[in-house]
Structure 1
Amino acid sequence: MSDTAPTSVVDQVLAAVSELLPEIAASAAERDRTRSLPRYVLDLLSSAGAFSVTVPTTHGGPGGGAAVAFEVTRLLATADPNVAQIPQSHFVYLRLAELAGSASLLDELFGAVLTGERVANAQSERTGRTVTDQTTRMRLVDGATVVDGRKFYCTGSLTADWIAVLGRDEDDVEQVGFVRAGTSGLTIVDDWTGMGQRTTASGTITFEGVRVDPSHVVPRQRAVTGPHGYGAFAQGLHAAIDVGIARGALTEAAAFVRSSTRPWFEADVERAEQDPLLVQRFGELEVDVRAAESALVVAGAAVDAIASAPPSRVDDVAREASLQVAAAKVLGDRAALAVTSALFELGSTRSSDDGLNLHRHWRNARTHTLHDPVRWKLQHLGRWSVAGTPPPRGPQF
């Protein structure tokens, strides 16, 4: 009998994702240069179980929690953060369905995801005073929920099987409808023009009289306002992307220095990686990245701890999860921006060659870190530290 413990399905998925990373990374620069969507890569990941890793065991899935979702996302971001951003929305809306969805929705949605199908978001709008304002409307007509509206920055929508659309019902209550891609009245336009994260399959979606089964409509506030860590889960996935960007960029910077960078003459060394000042700078950045990676692990464990917390402590545990995720997001943001900028300092003039496309790391970091500004994460951390004020519950926390 072997003394080796059996490998869980979650471990198998993480191993499969890790094995795909070199292939994903090898084509990332070219996809960015030509803005080619990663359809083939996403299909590989679906086949590997990456998109179904959080499906609950009660519905035949591996039952991976926040820590697993964060790690899958981080791993993918080390290779291509564009690919990593696509499961972010997918995992978030699966979590919403799990917390607040009907039994029939869970059966159909989780069953579809287990076969490799993917969910994308239709959440943001351009016309409101803030990003939280919604003009998309949902109304009951002849036994169906009818959706009318227009959404932007719909990450993953161009390659998705399901669209999770956020809108307001006739009582002005926020609802999320899970709609099959290809449903009549649903139009997706490939019009994302960001300088970074160019291949996240983000398009504009128009809903014109789109009919949704009412059982596929989920009251969003049930998940957002409860002590479930829903916002912390969503934000932790964003932090994982930034942390992965930082590690991926630092790894490529080191490889470039070893292969292409000439030593500065004053260092009096044979190779650039022998320059003590350059080594010092790599050491500083390594600390930044390791700190962000460690914070992400702590944050994932904190979010997962909510599910097992006794009722008397669940609010405290959920609060701590939000604070830990906020810290991870700040550290991830800082590490991603620091490393992707320092890459050129470390690689010297040769690294700025446009043909190398090393600037994609900075463009990706600068674009993605615009999500949910960390200055507000610092505010909430500071308010807790100074006055014991708990962070708010919402999709951004």
Structure 2
Amino acid sequence: MTLSPEKQHVRPGDADNDPVAVARGLAEKWRATAVERDRAGGSATVEREDLRASGLLSLLIPRQYGGWGADWPTAIEVVREIAAADGSLGHLLGYHLSSAPMIELFGSQEQEQRLYRQIAQNDWWTGNASSENNSHVLDWKVSASPTEDGGYLLNGTKHFCSGAKGSDLLLVFGVIQDDSPQQGAIIAAVIPTSRHGVQVNDDWAAIGMRQTDSGSTDFHSVKVEPDEVLGEPNAFIVAFIQSERGSLFAPIVQLIFANVYLGIAHGALDAAREYTRTQARPWTPAGVQQATEDPYVLRAYGEFTIALQGADAAAREAAHLLQTVWDKGDALAPEDRGELMVKIPGVKALATNAALDVNSGIFEVIGARGTHPKYGFDRFWRNVRTHTLHDPVSYKIADVGKHTLNGQYPIPGFTS
């Protein structure tokens, strides 16, 4: 891979423009088409190009490389704003943003400089190719066969490749297959999605997150150049075992997921509120003229808001803790990582429960007429229900309980 020619990175407004405000502007634009696009499924091509043009794809790229240089609390707010308008787009942006720290955590300084500049200068999307549909979630079979030049050839199929379609770069994992002592070790690499042998399939189908392009990707003798490999074989496993800085990848992803759920729930609450104010009818025994005066409707909205207030506060506190831990660099201690991964599972549980409750509960306050498909209120629940099955929240709650009762931190891993 070679650097593209230098170009002026264009953002809306001046270089100090507020990225959260930019996200809100995009969200407002997309709300008008959200129901129709959810019904159609497929790819949100126009909206992804909007994100590309906005500069938000380089949100976490340091300024010296041409990016926005935002911190984690800001990035989390941006994801939440986008998800409030469209859960699929919040999901896609979240996955993209989670790829940037992978480069910094595991790549060399040269890789960081090269890839960060490319993403910032060209407004590149990064897709994900990690999961496989085998006997268990870490039963990876995509093979990485070493080549004489120090690279690899990838063969096999990845599933749930969110954002791979239409991306410029792919973060991909493979398992070394040879007769050396490295047999079975995991490698990670960032490669061009257009690389010969990469086939991104249009086969994503689920009840929710219908425009995340989370289908499968086939690899047919795909060459991975030596300078595209992030770290040594099993660098991720070593980072988890030793609670090194690289293991922060897991809490970053988990916190992003939680804020996607919260964003979707806020979007549902906003849409339901507008409907209740303008179209809902009061129930006759309430003895009121408007649904907005019905005491049970008022109580329901109060419960929705209180649930989100608590989850929002916990999420923002966790984002600031993540920034504090991130800033420690290589001085990160296992206890720092442990405290973060007690906090974030709690946020994940709060966000999951609040989002599911709000997104199903809104039907109680909009009434039967609000179930007409033209309103699309069901999309909020379908999106959250689909994504919250990514990894069981019961294990997150148990991790928090284990620390409270026994003083044990969660064992570092891809989801903890």
Same fold (TM over 0.5): yes
Q: Please give the per-residue CA displacement for 1:94-125, whole angstroms capped at 9, x wherever unaligned.
A: 11111111233223321221121010111111
In structure 2, which of residues 220, 223, 244 is the aligned counterpart of residue 226 of structure 1?
244
Q: Which residue of 2 aligns with 1:47?
A: 53
Structure 2: which amino acid aligns with 1:379?
A
Instruction: Compute the TM-score of the two structures, normalised by the length of structure 2.
Output: 0.89
Aligned residues of 2:152 and 2:225 also touching (Cα < 8 A): yes
1:145 and 2:152 correspond: yes
Report the CA distance shift for 1:377/1:357 in structure 2 as closer, same or farther (over 3 A): same
| 2:383 matches 1:364 | yes
Structure 1 match to 2:7: none
Give the superposition deviation at 1:315.
2.5
TM-score calculated relative to the size of structure 1: 0.94
SS in 2 for 1:130: coil
What CA distance in whole angstroms lies between the structure 1 residues aligned with 2:349 and 2:362?
A: 20
AA of the residue aligned to 1:294: A
Structure 2 unaligned residues grouped into runs of 5+ = 1-12
Instruction: Check 1:312–1:85 CA distance in 2 against 1; reply closer, same or farther (3 A cut).
Output: closer
CA contact (8 A) 2:258 2:352 kept: yes
Alignment CA distance shift 1:187-1:311 (3 Å): closer
Q: For residues 91 and 317 of structure 2, what CA distance do their matches in structure 1 show? A: 21
SS of corresponding position for 1:62: coil
- Alpha-carbon distance between aligned partners in 2 of 1:272 and 1:96, rounded to the nearest angstrom: 49
CA distance in 2, matches of 1:72, 1:87: 9
**1:331-370 pair list within 5 angstroms:** 331-370=350-389
What is the Cα-based RMSD across aligned positions, in Å? 1.9
How many corresponding residue pairs?
A: 390
1:180 to 192, 197, 217: 192
CA contact (8 A) 1:102 1:215 kept: no
- Match of 1:154, SS? coil
Which residue of the partner structure matches residue 174 of structure 2? 167
Whether 1:279 aligns to 2:286 is no
- Residue 325 of structure 1 is matched in structure 2 by 344
- AA aligned opposite 2:58: S
Residues 182 and 299 of structure 1: CA distance in aligned 2, closer, same or farther (over 3 Å): same
Using the TM superposition, give the Cα deviation of residue 153 of structure 1 relative to its aligned residue in structure 2, in angstroms.
0.9
Partner of 1:261: 280
Taking a change above 3 Å as real, the CA distance of residues 262 and 68 of structure 1, as seen in their structure-2 partners, is: same
Change (3 A) 1:233 1:313: closer
Which position in structure 2 is the counterpart of 1:70?
A: 76
1: CA distance between counterparts of 2:173 and 2:411? 20
Within 1, Cα distance between the matches of 2:113 and 2:54?
Answer: 21
Distance 1:116 1:146, change over 3 A: same
Q: 1:357 to 1:311 in 2, by over 3 A?
A: closer
Paired residue secondary structure (1:203): coil
Question: What is the distance in 2 between the residues matched to 1:160 and 1:386?
Answer: 44
In structure 1, what is the equivalent of residue 257 of structure 2? 238
Q: 1:376 Cα shift?
A: 0.6
Q: Percent of pairs identical after alignment?
A: 28
Change (3 A) 1:254 1:137: same
Asked if structure 1 preserves the Cα contact closer than 8 Å seen for 2:311 and 2:351, the reply is: yes
